Amino acid sequence: MKTLHIKFAVAVALLTFCFATPLLAAESYVFGVHPYKNPAELAAMFKPLMAHLEAQTGATLSFRSSKDYAAFNEAFVKGEIDIAFMGPSIYAELFAQHPDKVRLVATALDKGQPTFKGVIVAKKDSPINSLADLKDKKFAFGDRDSTLSCYLPAVMLMDAGVFDSVKYDFTGKHDNVANSVLKGMHDAGGLKPDVAEKYMAQGLKVVVESAPVYEHVIVVGPKVNEATMKKIQDALVNVKDPAVCTSIQKSYTGFTNTTKPGDYASLLDIIKKVDTKITK
């Protein structure tokens, strides 16, 4: 009888192990960031946030970026990225195209606000001081799918009536835009405010700011269940350590869960307007 009890206990233990192992494996996720900087820099910037999410959820996260925005979007849609930090225009497009695959968890707070602005920059000693001054000039965009280094500056140029006269190039990452303007390869360019601020001491100036749009978001894909999504959301909204946010951007102060997918819908109008002028 004792032998039978031992065999039964062993069988139960084996069944428990077999069923528990897949559950543990399911708590391993890929955390992705759209490639607005090089992968090594992004990995360092988001390390505190990933550590915070691991501590609060019990999940294991691995980092991933991509060679460009298109590859990042494709990876998320394919389910190769489970949790992502992405720009507002990326989110607006993905949600419009794949509402079943992208769920909004939280929006970043910039100095306490869920909105931010893009900027157009030029060299400090440049005669360019307004959008009108950009007529017939050379302009540097960043990535074609970037909110702040393409969509917002492009629509600003269009609204000012100077876009058709501008000669433009896509330079990739935000730092490339700044360096191209500083080196005189382009007369002006579109940037994130924090990147522009970083290069002001080297000779950049802000020519004009865009209208405010909603900030970057944290989203999850289908692999993340509702319970884990709620844990992630709670961890983001209740983050206490300032370094978790400032490591991503100095002006970030936290995250909010009060924004809705509809808050990003106005970006789709900007995207469509720009897409009529600049083909992908």
**Which pLDDT belongs to residue 66?**
95
Q: Walk along the chain (280 residues) in steps of 10 and give the mean pLDDT of each run.
A: 45 45 63 95 98 97 95 97 96 95 97 95 97 98 95 97 98 96 98 94 97 96 96 98 97 97 93 91
Edge-to-edge strands of the sheet including 188-191?
167-170, 138-141, 188-191, 119-123, 204-209
**Which pLDDT belongs to residue 6?**
43
Domains contained in the chain, CATH given: 7-114+214-274 (3.40.190.10), 118-211 (3.40.190.10)
- Relative to beta strand 167-170, strand 204-209 is unpaired
**Which pLDDT belongs to residue 184?**
97
Cα 83 to chain center, whole Å?
11
**Which pLDDT belongs to residue 14?**
45
**Which pLDDT belongs to residue 280?**
73
Alpha helices in the chain (DSSP H): 2-26, 39-57, 69-77, 88-97, 152-159, 174-182, 193-200, 226-237, 242-246, 265-275
